[in-house]
Structure 1
Amino acid sequence: MNVLHKNTVGILFVTIGLLVTCNIYSLIPLYTTIANEMDIVAKDVATGSILFTLFYAFGLLVFSPLADSFGRRRIILIGLFVSAITTLLVSFAKTPLPLYIFRGIQGFSLASFAPVAFAFSFDIFMEKERTFWIALINAGFLAAGMIGQLTSAFILQISTWQHVYYFFSAVYLLLFFLGIFILPKVVNHHSKESVKGIISQFIKLLRGKILSKYYSIVFTLLFSFVAYYEALGYFLPQGDLKVLIQSIGLLGVFLSVFAGTFISYFSARNTLLIGILLGIGSMILLLFSYSPWFTAFLSIFFVASIALLIPTIIHLIGTNSGVYRGKALCLYSFLLLIGASLGSFVASILSYRMVLILLIFTFMHNFFVTWKLKRIS
């Protein structure tokens, strides 16, 4: 592959990652509208988001082994095509039950991208460029938390909620056709494995002396991001100012672009420590911030810490998992999403400042785990 082709693949991965992740959040601005149309309460509509997340998490565990058996390019393309169909189905829901079913299968089909794309990146890109593109993919994942909601809200203002899913369905179909022409045909070692063998490998990875420590950190990353932003959303008054304050923090995702540079100069483990310390420092300052604008400013540094940590931890897991890289990154994606789900729950039961205190202790745990890794690895 020449440089231009590699860059085109990287841009496609970032675009798919952003637009796939947007659908985790696409239903949130539609709760009230759908609830009124179906004559139910908004909490009942929110069940569609919960089911999406659960099926998405399950799909993450399924598609990576399938990609090892049938090829990563094939799984991504089939996943995009099927996602176009399942996303369109959501728009046909007239009652809660079809909404739940269609959101569930939509979540499952969209899970075909993330872990497969990360493993695919190790096949395509050299180390430095791989870190760069994986960082951008994850920056898209973080930005999708706000972009997904803003997209839905905008479409709802000019049309109906069904058009949100018409739009995303058409986008996934377009990405499918682009993928046919852009994604390279990389030769993978295909292997047929039993379910028992796959589970055994997952357990082996989770018990690994070094990988188990990295996974304990992975779980806290989107947990922290989601818990902070949802708690902040409950804390801030409603209105346009709230959206602006929350959006400012997303400027921090741009630090992910420099993850490769940090790793080159400081090493991956030291970069992990830098990201963790940045997170601790920003959260301590946030704890004592009573100005919405100062909170928005400090949020940039908090988001930057997550944006730096995610590509760094992917780099470390990918380089320490050997022949099990695909499954190791599959577990990474699964634990990341489970953490995000728990973060949402924690934000709903704790106050904003209690969430910050919890996250400070969480990141302190990450610091000591990483420090200990420097001694045993």
Structure 2
Amino acid sequence: MHIHINPNKMKTTTFSRFFAILPLILFVMLHQANGQNLHNSSNAVSIENESNTTTGWTGTAIFTSDTQNPYDGLYSIRGVTSLSNGREIRYTFPAVIGETYNISIWARRGDYSLQPAFANWTGFAGFATRLINSAIWTEYTFTLVATSATPIIRVYTSPSSGLIQGSTIFIDRVSIFAASDTEAPSAPGNLTASDTTATSVFLSWNASTDNNGVTAYDIYSNNSLLATLPSTSTTFLVSNLIPATSYDFFIRARDGAGNTSNQSNTVLITTLADATPPSVPENLIATEITQTSLTLSWDASTDNIGVSSYEVFVDSVSAGIVNSPALSIALSGLTPGT
């Protein structure tokens, strides 16, 4: 009996035995826009004038400027529930009663956290509590009407009805804009794609302009939103694409009032074919051998894209497909004494 194993590459064609969808990893180079952001204190979560401080923020929680994985720039604010019932940080800004405001705060949970939330905001109509659910940076947006000239934004590091010492959250990139701005940014110009490989492409474009400043770009591929990026990036690298696959890209700009530009021109690309085979599986061994069955195991192959599956052959006849990352198969129905 002769046994060998062929590793299969991760590809997506009508002839392959599998489908693989890889995440897009975006690397962004940024610089910041000037706009009439009412979060105008110079501190770690400021868009226009970031600094290594917490100026403008107050509260009972322990809160500091932090360099651990900020969303944008060099710093974020880290808030921790203290032993003395401190679980809140807050920010107040001057508002016009009856005016609508668009508020954006990026936030994530710390390694240890319990039910952190945006809660108990005062001086607004229509506010509802929003839990901070993810350890990944997430944008939380609020469109609210001011009922006070000094409304208060509150972030709770643990439940407002309880005290969980050490519960931690991070916030970054805070913006507060009056919604009376109805002028949309200009469309991003001259979007181009270059340096296309089997798994990546480099995009660049001309920056948009806006009366109050561009605050974000929405990046689309094949008509689906890939990411919302801080302003004003003019390049980014999309990697981990699928070889020999067509993609289209376009971009829209947004301002702090939520106005969205027309889309940029669309660029079409096809990633190059992947011509590199996986390495040969090594150390194939047979165990648990009986008259009619056995178990095979082997070491993993490597590949520039990734191994999706292994095809097992017995006497040059396919005996089955093993999906990665599994590295063994049980064979039965064998002929005794063979």
TM class, shorter-length: under 0.3
* Larger Rg, first or second structure (1 or 2): 2
Which of the two has greater helix per residue?
Answer: 1
TM value normalised by structure 2: 0.25
TM-score, length basis structure 1: 0.23
More strand by share: 2
